[in-house]
Structure 1
Amino acid sequence: MRNILGKQTTIARTTRYSGIGVHSGKPATIVLHPAEADRGVVFVRTLDNGKDIEIPALHTHVVATELCTVIGAEGQSVATIEHLMAAFAAVGLDNVVVEIDGPEMPIADGCSAAFIAMLADVGLRTLSDAREVIRVVKPVRLEAGDALLEFLPFDGTRYDVTIDFKSPLIGRQSYVLDLSPDSFTNDIARARTFGFMADVEKLWKMGFALGSSLDNSVAIGEDRILNPEGLRWADEFVRHKTLDAVGDLSLLGKPFIGHFRSYKGGHKLNWMAVKALLADTSAYEIVRQPAARRGATSSLVAATMAPVRD
């Protein structure tokens, strides 16, 4: 289990990444800036009139979930944030300002690998304030049709994701991830978004997925994977859904200690599960690592979690 408690972090210096938006097909650039403790993850849209619109990366600011996760405020929005948010959650980045020049994130190659590499290059800086964590203390269950999502008590941060598609090219796949920087980077970060060509063609006609290509998506035909290189893993599909879940659940606003199970979930249901957990205040508690007492050993302090009472 990773040491999820400890001090808050930010990035060590400003960095940027440019690409195209998967739906608009237009250039998109993000600039990441260090942020102070308790700032959280905040997206900033600068309008033509020079006004900055701040959009906190929180479940309360989700405005759409049909094709991706979209957050918004004051009539402005940022789409497809889940891959970047998953990278933040995986490396333990708490506070950062994401300046973005338009309404859509760069898609990179359809996963989190480019963002993980960017964060590894820039590095993290530890702040003086303790990190607060959501610890699940009793089950919270969400059912929608034949889909099921739930949070369970668990001594760690576990994602247990199952998908079930009619297409024999996907079928039923399951993946269990105990989240850590290494497990995410090695086993999840490179898992790409995917879609059926029949659906993509419909989206094109509607003006969506204009930036989608074999460079940033796994394309599924009637009887074969259309990408010349094939899949990165035989179960790349469920790995990507796990990546999405890591990003979507980071909209809790704090890391969590618990076991998240998902059967036939997606962006909307992930968001609904976050809301369901936070709505039941008896199902979780906020904990943080107490300040070290003089003479206390680091191992003792690291093993101690104290509920936040203030």
Structure 2
Amino acid sequence: MKQRTIANSVEIVGIGLHKGVPVKMKLEPLDSNMGIVFYREDEGVTIPLKIENVVDTKMATVIGKDGVVISTIEHLLSAVYAYGIDNLRVVIDNDEVPVLDGSSSGYCMLIEEAGIKELAASKKAIKIKKNVEVTTEDGKRVALKPSNHIIYDFSIDFDHPVIGQQEFRFDYSIEEYKENISRARTFGFLHEVQYLRSQGLAQGGSLENAIVLDQSKVLNPEGLRYNDEFVRHKILDAIGDMALLGYTLVGEYDAHAGSHYLNHLLTKKVYENEENYEILDLEIANEEAQVFEMAYSKVQA
């Protein structure tokens, strides 16, 4: 199996979630072994997608270098990772990736518009060999476990009548991602939105790009896309955050009440011990390569 990039450059203009200003973003192909690279063209700074370049995880996953940052990268990365893109340059003229409709479905369409191109070099994957877990005193947990498949299992428990307890198990393929994960939108509570705006944040947030809830109901007039849209969006975010591993994942991600912060700690912890993982060459590792071939098979390159 070979590495992937996009076949053609594509461009989009959207609103940043926090500043609320227009952002122009262009996706460009890269050659083998170049990885995912962000470029702030207004600052002239290149920021490779690496764990050590993560500078903030409070409200979103933020990468930075030399004092220049790019925020809210997780929705774009979720789609890029789901489509098996190994090499890509993201050119952006502001400090936020466009939020679009609060999901990653727009980025799926953008990748399909660009097309997928196979490259000469063999594709690499990271296979989890031992359980790696990060927990908190209040019961939050994120973990990566050995598996010959690619699975995301997430549960949440909110004291809210619309959300409550939800769990979703996602067995990866591109088609399943498009159908069951990519359309799930980010969500927030009205009192939180009001507070964030008082702090100069969430200026671009609206019912057009997020699910907003008051104390008892969803305020969006169209309602939910899935009854369990909230936990599905948590999986969407987790897939984007696992892109920081630098390789496509073979293993099971399992979480309860996970967050960008805990996901960041998890990716760091994986690399603390070489016994936790193995880097596979998918030209040689036939069993794992078959998993990806099946997952990719229904989407034309």
TM-score by length of 1: 0.91
The answer as to 2:52 corresponding to 1:57 is no
The answer as to 2:64 corresponding to 1:72 is yes
State the 1:280 CA deviation.
Answer: 1.8
Deviations 1:40-88 (A, max 9, x none): 110001236xxx2111112211100111110001110100000000000
Which of 253, 257, 260 pairs up with 2:253?
Answer: 260
State the 1:301 CA deviation.
Answer: 10
The answer as to 2:31 corresponding to 1:39 is no
Structure 2, gaps ≥5 residues long? 292-301
Which of 134, 157, 161 pairs up with 1:164?
Answer: 157
Which of 9, 13, 34 pairs up with 1:14?
Answer: 9
Query: How many equivalent pairs are there?
Result: 290
Rg (Cα) greater in structure:
1
Counterpart in 2 of 1:149?
Answer: 142
Q: Say if 1:290 and 1:301, in contact at 8 Å, map to a contact too.
A: no
AA aligned opposite 2:276: A
State the 1:167 CA deviation.
Answer: 1.4
State the 1:290 CA deviation.
Answer: 3.5
State the 1:256 CA deviation.
Answer: 1.1
Helix, strand or coil at the partner of 2:275: coil
The answer as to 2:79 corresponding to 1:87 is yes
Q: 1:260 to 1:301 in 2, by over 3 A?
A: closer
Q: 1:158 to 1:302 in 2, by over 3 A?
A: closer
Q: Distance in 2 between matches of 1:303 and 1:225?
A: 42
The answer as to 2:271 corresponding to 1:278 is yes
AA aligned opposite 2:222: E
Structure 1, gaps ≥5 residues long? 1-5, 293-298, 305-310
Q: Say if 1:42 and 1:54, in contact at 8 Å, map to a contact too.
A: yes
Q: Distance in 2 between matches of 1:86 and 1:274?
A: 15
Counterpart in 1 of 2:185?
Answer: 192
Q: 1:302 to 1:19 in 2, by over 3 A?
A: closer
Deviations 1:159-179 (A, max 9, x none): 111111111221111111112
State the 1:277 CA deviation.
Answer: 1.0
User: Runs (4+) of structure 1 moved beyond 4 Å?
Assistant: 299-304
